[in-house]
Amino acid sequence: MLVLLKPSYEELSREAARIVAITVKNNPSVTLGLATGSTTLGMYRELVRRHEEERLDFSKVTTFNLDEYLGLPAEHPQSFHRFMGEHFFNHVNMNPDKIHIPDGTLGGDYEEYCRLYEEAIREAGGIDLQILGIGRNGHIGFNEPTSSFGSRTRLKVLTSETIEDNRKFFAAGEEMPECAVTMGIGTILEARKILLLATGAAKAETVAEAIEGPITASVTASCLQLHPDATFVIDEAAAEKLKQREYYRRVMELTARFTPNRLS
């Protein structure tokens, strides 16, 4: 695991976008796993800027999003379909046929639908780079505490904490979804590379548990300790409870000096 400490959210966003951009340039037909949430906004803005000003080409890229709320149509203001269109897809040259986001409105056989989502990932050759955020309770995707490390794409009931954290995005009096379709932890761990972004003091304790705590289903992001190529990009506020902060700074310095490709 590589931990990259950045002084601000803006620097974090630029670094995350740089890693994604290098990945796309090195392999124009790359398959990306994408996340939503406020932490990713700066990264998407910078990727759009690179597309507009530096001609970063997304025309051959395939994407799979992590999750979607159950019951929200794609046009709903808080759907992840809408989020991805407004903040990224509508501003770059993505091929719509290569965009995959879980459908929260099927109302039918979700077990079969989730199986087909997994199959589509396999048919695309697997995910080359998976982007993640982290919830205040340590979840990745919507893999809430107690999720199996072998879990696959499925329906997941949201915890009360996650519902309350996300309620602010919905209109007053609007019913908040209580379930979601999400990639499983086993699905996420099969990505060749993983990039997790975290910002702000509210995430500091969870980030420390994920990076330095025991590997436990109580903090599902801790599963990333098992991954051979996982990178955390975090700002100073999110890093404040890490016990090994100075060591991570030394690792960054020496990695940049002796193995610069590790930061690409």
Residues annotated as catalytic are 67, 137, 139, 144
What are the DSSP calls for the chain, one per residue?
A: -EEEEESSHHHHHHHHHHHHHHHHHH-TT-EEEE--SGGGHHHHHHHHHHHHHH----TT-EEEESEEETT--TTSTTSHHHHHHHHTGGGS---GGGEE---S---S-HHHHHHHHHHHHHHTT--SEEEE---TTS-BTTB-TT--TT--SEEEEPPHHHHHHHHTTSPTTPPPP-EEEE--HHHHHTSSEEEEEE-SGGGHHHHHHHHHS--BTTBGGGGGGG-TTEEEEEETTTTTT-TTHHHHHHHHHHHHHH-GGGG-
